[in-house]
A and B are shown apart, each in its own frame.
Chain A
């Protein structure tokens, strides 16, 4: 039982369901209480102990279907009830349930199995062979040939071949063709078993690898097809940052006794400590004004910048989001109402792909928001600072910077490209508190977490 369960847990983990060992133990208890015979019941009960979110439940359901075939369940159960089968899996069909093989002679068993055509026996033999061939270690699709071969050998292929050879010599042609046909079927079945195993164990290995790579990959090189995964990653990142942030706020609420202020406040009560004051750390709830360049020069990263901008508006409580190519436009409401894909697509359609005019955009930005910008506001600009040799508008940016808490410029180009050609990073960067090259999700993560940092 425990072995089956262990395998199942492994398969679940491979499918990206997070299962702790404590939950594994619970699942064992469920097995004890419910048994294997009622499949639906088992599925429900295990689902409640192992999968604890809706997504996990869906993955779990798939995994369960793949792992426990209806036929398999009966077999597993029989397997459990016959200790001999456990102790000596090599016996193949010899588990005492039916006509056992003649004295454990494996070739004879395989031949016998093929001739009697007992499905249950055959399934059991396959399962045992799979176990012996350590099929749970299979990792790559290209390995399936080796593993199916190993399983066949374990079931006594060699002996069978010899028998076949002898039969051919003696001229029993009918027997030979019949056996060969059966063997062919067996091969197919084994191959199917192996492939199922691959699917179970490696279903998510690919995605996980991809996620790792995407995390480090420059945004500009990410492909359209990765947008979906990227979106999930950014969402994950945003979520993590939010939870970090909320925890920090709680620390501030608790505080310690502020002796000095308590004494001072209680002078009027004759020094009796009546009104207690707690030390509190104030949390900076940053107001953010975020501006994103969506012009032609950043075309290949605009989608991802917008994706990030969208996530920022989700994570932080007070964000005004703007985009510009030639003219500035506010997209705060758009982001608030639309889902991320639609929001990004709409923004690009309405405002994207124009030629950049930093001077004008920054002028409009200062006209629109300057009255709102105060010592708590962070201004975040995503753009490559390429102004088509026009006025970069750094004087407007400087006016903003004078009032704002800080101005952060994130440039999707690597530092070595800055100030080449029409890039105005030198002049614009001078009017910023921080300038960062932001080329991958790692960078984004670091910067957002900085935005959320609390002040003392």
Chain B
């Protein structure tokens, strides 16, 4: 008896490989977990909440998805005090004022022959209420994402920076892909956008928000993946130095640092080494360029004391 479920994972695996290859063509290399989350997000129409240390490619994932699917990327950067007039929509007040002016001028023509106030008002009611009309709406990122005819990739960046109220305000959007504009009614997306939310974990997000999202944690990449990323991003670097460099960075992450170097820093460092025409990791060179990798003086001091053993270990493991 052949079980239909048996063949399903193969199809899923196939889809994952497609995603990974698609991302690779845009220059973004990803792990299985990341591909799975993109797969699930498209299948279940659910937003993905991405957490992880800074610089591991959270924002980049959204960009890669947009490029790969050929959809526009709409980005909403969150900050404290962000409110719906900046995130969702605003009325074009100027145009609305002009409209009332025009209306005032035309009012005389409209009211010709009307007897008394009651009849005038009845006349007025016969006209559509164009004052609150989608034409006077200035769409902000969220509304733009809903209005996009072919669907969009919506990136809500650093949601943890926004206030708790804003988080609550997002719930309707994330669950049903619709938003309520009091004067008009609800606006619903024809094609639900693919939503990514990123968080650096500066504060604990609400349960309600988490419940509505898939949760993806992107850790620092393992050695193999990081090697491939560097190979892709900095192809000028020779292979043995690349392995040494990645091993060195990986060992740094094991130390108790204030801020561990992320992928973006590894890439910067690799570029630096290329510029310096380095052939291998040597002591002086590393010491001179350590500030590319580490951003705190305390960290640099700490690593400096153990530099010799670290470099040695990196050479050995490479």
User: Taking beta carbons and an 8 Å cutoff, which residues of A are in contact with B?
Assistant: 18, 20, 22-23, 26, 29-30, 33-38, 40-41, 44-45, 48-49, 51-54, 57, 77-78, 80-82, 97, 239, 243, 246-247, 250
Contacts and interface: CB of A to CB of B under 8 A. Distances in A.
A52 B9 contact: no
Nearest to A54: B217
> Chain A binding site: helix, strand, loop or mixed by DSSP?
helix
Contacts of A37: 5-6, 8-9
A23 B36 contact: no
Nearest to A30: B40
B3 A41 contact: no
Interface residues of B, number: 33
Contacts of B6: 35, 37, 77
Contacts of A18: 207
6 contacts: A22-B212, A23-B211, A33-B43, A38-B9, A48-B48, A52-B210
Contacts of A40: 32
Contact of B40 (A20, A23, A48): A48
B285 interface: no
A48 B44 contact: no
Nearest to B52: A54
> Chain B binding site: helix, strand, loop or mixed by DSSP?
helix
Contacts of A52: 49, 210-211, 213, 215
Contacts of A247: 164
A49 B214 contact: yes
B236 interface: no
A429 B32 CA distance: 64
B292 to A, nearest CB: 27
Given A41-B12, A45-B40, 10 more contacts: A26-B46, A34-B8, A34-B9, A37-B5, A37-B8, A45-B36, A51-B215, A80-B5, A81-B3, A82-B1
Given A41-B13, A48-B215, A33 B5 contact: no
B186 to A, nearest CB: 21
Given A80-B5, A250-B163, A250-B164, A22 B211 contact: yes
B37 A48 contact: yes
A436 B223 CA distance: 56
A54 B213 CA distance: 15
Interface string B23-60: 00000000011001100100110101101000000000
B192 to A, nearest CB: 15
Q: Please list the 7 inter-chain residue pairs (A to B) with the smallest Cβ-Cβ separation, ordered nearest first.
A: A38-B9, A35-B8, A35-B5, A52-B215, A52-B210, A81-B3, A48-B214
A44 B5 contact: no
